Each structure stands twice: as structure tokens, then as C-alpha cells.
């Protein structure tokens, strides 16, 4: 099972509870592996789509280093994980999933990755990008898989300055992709979160999405209790009543 991008340790300081959808029509969610989005943001995604927002996914790797079956060819694992992620995306209403095909476990914040993420941004032209935090979380090391950090750093660079700069990655102009300015970046898996999204009504969608990743979570018997524990603690940290569930982010304005 891939290490989840969420953290048991609660964010420092007060959280503002707000889905932040004023003026937001399109959101691009970037991640390192299949299942990262579903651990970190799937309930938020379901809530945003429920509010009429168009959401797309861009995933850097195919997750070919996941699982523990040594007899399974890694290309077969990659195909399984792509199919699982597409199924998970459908559970929350996402139909557009792009895989960049970088090697699982060997991602770096390279110029090539920055270019490919800038391409995804220029194509989809989102009002918000959601991505993993590029900062190591020493409170829970599992949140800081090297691929998560690398993709977070490359995504931040793609949001600013690459995607908006016509002179960055000039080959994108040759592809007909004009610069695009993303007004805000939301970071997952951070202990510096300042925003919470109340996703109580969308929890079942998140759970169904995660159970789609059978190669990583098996039958998913432990998921319900584990997720409720984490998400209820986040909700309480945000001042929500007992019984509510939330996902948390650090919101960075870029405009």
C-alpha cells in the first residue's frame, strides 16, 4: 500500500472553513502517484464538482513501484494502477485523468517535469491548482515521500512562474499553448494548513474512491475508521462540531 499523503498530526493554528469557490470554475489537481489525490483531497473534489466546478487530475507517475507482489511485472502494475485511478476518479465525478509516466520512486523537480506540468496547466487553464506540499513534514515522515516533495516543488514552479511566462518552455508556444496565470495554489499534506473544507456529506465518495485502489488497500476494511479519525480531528481543529469531517490545505495566492 502506498503511504497516504494525509497526516495524523493536526495543522498548527486556526483553520478557516471555506471551500473557496467564488470565481472558481476549473480546478487542476496534481499528484505524484495514483491514490495520492484520493487520500488527500477526494472528498473536497467531490464537493467542488457537486458545486458545479470542472476538476481534472494530472498524475506524475503510474505507481509502478507500488504493491508488494514481486512476481508481478512492473509494467503490469502500472496498468493496474492507472485503471484503479480512473475508477477512483469516476467515484467523485472526475473524467479527465492525465498520467505523465515518470518513474515511480525516482521523480525529481526537473525542468522536464516543470514543463509537463506547465503544459497541463496551459491546456486545462484552471482557476486553482491543488498539489502536494514541497516541504518535508517531520511530524509524520510518511507524508513526505520524495516523489510527493518533488512533484510539489515542480507544481509550485509550474504555477509560478512557468505556466504564465511566455518565455518559459517556448516549445509549449509551438504547441499552441498560450500562457495561463493560476490565481491560487492549494497544498495538501502540510502541517501549515490554514484552510479546511467541510466534506462530511462527501465522505462516502472519498471512501469509495480509495477502495478502488485494491492493489494498494486490499479490501479496504480499515479505511473507514482510519479516515474518520483523521478527518474528524481536522474538523475539530477547524472549530467544526463533533461529527463533522474535513480536509485541510495551505492556500497560497499567486495572482
In a domain, 9, yes or no: no
In a domain, 4, yes or no: no
Contact 64, 73 (CB under 8 A): no
203-251: per-residue pLDDT in tens? 999 999 999 999 999 887 889 999 999 999 999 999 999 999 999 999 9
54: cell is 470542472
Cα–Cα distances (Å) from 207 to 66, 225, 231, in that order, read: 20, 10, 12
In a domain, 3, yes or no: no
Which of 67, 14, 80, 40 has the alpha carbon at shortest distance from 239?
Answer: 14
Rounded to 5°, angle at Cα 70 from 66 and 75: 60
In a domain, 6, yes or no: no
In a domain, 138, yes or no: yes
Going by the DSSP 8-state scheme, the letter that residue 190 receives in this structure is -
**CATH code at 163?**
3.40.50.10320
The backbone region for 67, taken as left when phi is positive above 0, alpha when psi lies in -120 to 50, beta otherwise, is left
87-140: per-residue pLDDT in tens? 999 999 999 999 999 999 999 999 999 999 999 999 999 999 999 999 998 887
List of residues 6+ apart from 168 with CB closer than 8 A: 118, 161, 162
| Averaged confidence pLDDT in the chain | 93
List of residues 6+ apart from 169 with CB closer than 8 A: 114, 115, 118, 119, 162
In a domain, 2, yes or no: no
Name the band, by pLDDT with cuts 50, 70 and 90, for residue 69.
confident
Contact 161, 254 (CB under 8 A): no
Q: How many domains does the chain have?
A: 1
In a domain, 71, yes or no: yes
Burial of 69 (0-12, 13-18, 19+ CB in 10 A): exposed
Q: What range defines the domain where residue 210 resides?
A: 16-253
pTM: predicted TM-score of the whole model, two decimal places:
0.93
In a domain, 10, yes or no: no
DSSP for 41-103 reads: THHHHHHHHHTT-EEEEEEEE--TT-SS-TTS-HHHHHHHHHHHHHHHHHHHT---EEEEEEP
173-191: per-residue pLDDT in tens? 999 999 999 999 999 989 8
Amino acid at each position: 500500500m502506498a503511504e497516504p499523503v494525509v497526516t495524523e498530526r493536526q495543522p498548527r493554528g486556526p483553520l478557516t472553513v471555506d471551500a473557496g469557490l467564488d470565481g472558481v470554475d476549473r480546478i487542476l489537481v496534481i499528484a505524484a502517484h495514483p491514490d495520492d489525490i484520493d487520500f488527500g483531497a477526494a472528498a473536497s473534489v467531490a464537493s467542488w464538482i457537486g458545486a458545479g466546478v470542472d476538476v481534472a487530475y494530472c498524475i506524475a507517475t503510474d505507481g509502478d513501484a507500488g504493491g508488494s507482489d514481486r512476481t508481478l511485472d512492473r509494467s503490469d502494475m502500472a496498468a493496474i494502477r492507472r485503471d484503479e485511478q480512473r475508477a477512483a476518479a469516476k467515484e467523485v465525478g472526475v473524467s479527465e485523468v492525465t498520467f505523465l509516466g515518470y518513474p515511480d520512486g525516482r521523480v525529481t523537480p526537473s525542468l522536464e517535469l516543470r514543463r509537463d506540468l506547465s503544459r497541463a496547466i496551459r491546456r486545462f487553464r484552471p482557476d486553482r491548482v491543488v498539489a502536494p506540499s514541497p516541504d518535508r513534514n517531520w511530524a509524520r515522515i510518511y507524508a513526505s515521500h520524495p516523489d510527493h516533495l518533488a512533484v510539489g516543488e515542480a507544481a509550485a514552479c509550474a504555477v509560478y512562474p512557468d505556466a504564465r511566462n511566455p518565455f518559459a518552455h517556448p516549445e509549449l508556444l509551438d504547441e499552441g499553448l498560450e500562457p495561463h496565470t493560476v490565481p491560487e495554489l492549494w497544498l495538501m499534506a502540510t502541517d501549515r494548513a490554514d484552510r479546511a473544507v467541510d466534506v462530511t456529506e462527501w465522505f462516502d465518495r472519498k471512501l469509495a474512491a480509495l477502495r478502488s485502489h485494491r492493489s494498494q488497500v486490499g479490501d479496504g476494511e480499515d479505511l473507514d475508521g482510519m479516515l474518520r479519525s483523521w478527518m474528524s480531528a481536522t474538523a475539530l481543529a477547524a472549530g467544526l462540531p463533533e461529527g463533522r469531517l474535513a480536509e485541510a490545505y495551505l492556500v497560497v495566492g499567486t495572482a
